[in-house]
Structure 1
């Protein structure tokens, strides 16, 4: 069987193989996952815009990341970040997901939107997946952003490892899901800017529910083994 190629980073040029993405905006960029991804993208040489509910908080976090990575990082409120980003990562808490995307839909029209939100609940027994009327957070994003190119990715990467400057290689595959093949390829290339990580096509957006829900299993693994577990796909 002939397997489709997995897009990779042009290591000689140290940039994305597709020159269209130069600026990545991270909505919720001051939270653990958003900040960790922003750190890695800035270290890879991409311009990063941290978005937050308050611009002052975003600017303070951006200054710290810029000093730490030597990259180009700026802070803004979520609306300004959405307008500035060529690719926009959605890393906000699930509770804020629908309201924020509804508000930002005009600003995100025509843009590549990467949703990494996991709808999870927590109780005395640990983490569990929540039911989403649209099927998943990514499908909700696609419904709320009909003029955007929505892709699901970055659900299973440890925020602790991403934001740890002592970790040079993040040993993890990233499942990338979407209905737009070109958009999926771009996100796979974006994943490849982070040393140690690989973007693997995981199916169409309708399959995002089980990918988001699997994060609850990883949280259980991490608690039991005191680890920062990730995911590797074999034989590709």
Structure 2
């Protein structure tokens, strides 16, 4: 059985919140999803920053983009993308246990360190950022996705479409399917089911290798799954 996007649910009417939407990765995802017609809410610890970022994204990509506090955005969204720096990952989520209850949470955080020999994956007690999210948010439907998508390419609308697959992991197959479908809303991207959250650590860590490839070859490398 090969990949068949027609089997995935229609998520076009769902509201997508992006916590960390004022940062590069969150902003890039917001631009592309807004361009695709998704309703986007940008979250930040400072609501005014989120509102300013939302106005900028709406002007660039069109569509419906609003800003608000992290708690407000979490409560108003159907799916919530976590795109905050790993240093603030746990603290951010601990403040949002209640508004994220029952929500599909998409963790795209890569726990990385940087030294003289280049980037390297950080050890996470729970095994990965996504598993840390699942531990903090036991009543949310936590998934992992969007780890290997270039923020620079996402934000550059002169790039007509992306050329990569997004690996989606999670315990809840229905939630995973919705995230796969959301990834597919961005031109050129397929959302590929890649296993359970226990495998998220290796997916997050692979980002370190892609950063090295980017630097060595002057590109914005992504991942494609062959024979699918």
Tell me which residue corresponds to 2:150. 158
Q: 1:7: which partner in 2? A: 5
Task: Report the equivalent of 2:221.
Answer: 229
Aligned-partner SS, 2:226:
coil
How many Å separate the matches in 1 of 2:90 and 2:159?
A: 33
Matched length = 228
Q: Is the alpha carbon distance of 1:20 and 1:195 closer, same or farther for their aligned partners in structure 2, counting shifts above 3 Å?
A: closer
Runs of 5+ consecutive residues of structure 2 not aligned to the other structure: none
Secondary structure of the equivalent of 2:210? helix
Partner of 1:207: 199
The DSSP-based 3-state class of the residue aligned with 1:60 is helix
Helix, strand or coil at the partner of 1:105: coil
1:13 match: none
Question: Residue 55 of structure 2 contacts residue 66 of structure 2 at CA under 8 Å; is this kept in 1?
Answer: yes
Q: How does 1:41-80 map to 2 (within 5 A)?
A: 41-80=33-72
In 2, Cα distance between equivalents of 1:169 and 1:185:
22
Of the structure 1 ranges 28-37 and 70-79, higher mean CA displacement relative to structure 2 is found in: 70-79
For 1:146, the equivalent position in structure 2 comes to 138
- TM normalised by structure 2 equals 0.97
Task: Give the 5 Å matches for 1:31-46.
Answer: 31-46=23-38
Is 1:109 the counterpart of 2:115? The answer is no
Task: Give the match for residue 29 of structure 1.
Answer: 21
- Kept in 1: contact 2:12–2:37 (CA 8 A): no
Question: Which structure 1 segments of 5+ residues have no match?
Answer: 10-15
**Contact 1:7/1:185 (<8 A) preserved:** no
TM-score (norm. length: structure 1): 0.93
2:183 pairs with 1:191:
yes
SS state at 2:59 partner: helix
Displacement of 1:81 after TM fit? 1.0
Deviation string, structure 1 residues 99-132 (Cα, Å, up to 9, x no partner): 0101101110000000000000001111000000
Residues 68-95 of structure 1, C-alpha deviations (whole Å, 9 max, x = no match): 1121000111111111110000000000
Listed one character per residue, the Cα deviations across residues 25-53 of structure 1 (whole Å, up to 9, x for unaligned) are 00000000000000111111111000112
Does the Cα contact within 8 Å between 1:8 and 1:188 map onto a contact in 2? no
Q: What displacement does 1:5 show?
A: 4.2
Q: Which residue of 2 aligns with 1:18?
A: 10
Q: Is the 8 A contact 1:24 1:87 kept in 2?
A: yes
CA distance, structure 2, for counterparts of residue 222 and residue 115 of structure 1: 23
